Amino acid sequence: MPYPNDLLEQARHLANREPKRPKQASLRRAVSTAYYALFQLLGIELARNWKRTGDRSTLARMLEHGTMANVCSNKSKDLSKHFSQNPPPPQNHALTVLRHIKTIAETFVQMYQQRQIADYNNARKWGRTDVLQKIDTVEVAFQSWLAIRDEDEAQSFLVTLLLKERKF
């Protein structure tokens, strides 16, 4: 995952670029770059399972930001409901996997919204501390993904990121 990790590192660099008074442009780009790090991570992870290596980049390009945000929002809500209705025993491996997926899904939705604000809302003033906290949140999502990336439930989650909502 060098590319997503590089983006995350770049986001942190941008947030810390000006030591005394950070420029809004640097902070905004840091938020946007942190979001894209997570977006790229999920895209690369989805594509790495595709048997035909030559088609992997095409598959990753099929992901749509809004669709992914909707899927992640729904997944997070479903998991919250599941956790509240079915309190599982502690130290349950399946529960741990689902908690990591919830972390990833929630972070994706939050960062998608924050990226929209950073890129399109010039009235919002950003602070370095807030931006660094957002980058840290994405880093936690990266760690969650690394902990579960080979689990069946995690792989199924990736596939759902391609699904568009059907209107009947």
Q: Tokens 């579960």, residue?
A: 148
156: its two tokens: 């199924």
pLDDT at 48 over 60: yes
pTM for the whole structure: 0.91
pLDDT for residue 46: 84
Contact 12, 142 (CB under 8 A): no
Contact 64, 155 (CB under 8 A): no
User: Average per-residue pLDDT in the chain?
Assistant: 89
Contact 11, 41 (CB under 8 A): no
Q: Each residue of 84-124: pLDDT tens digit?
A: 887 666 667 888 899 999 999 999 999 999 999 999 999 99
pLDDT for residue 114: 98
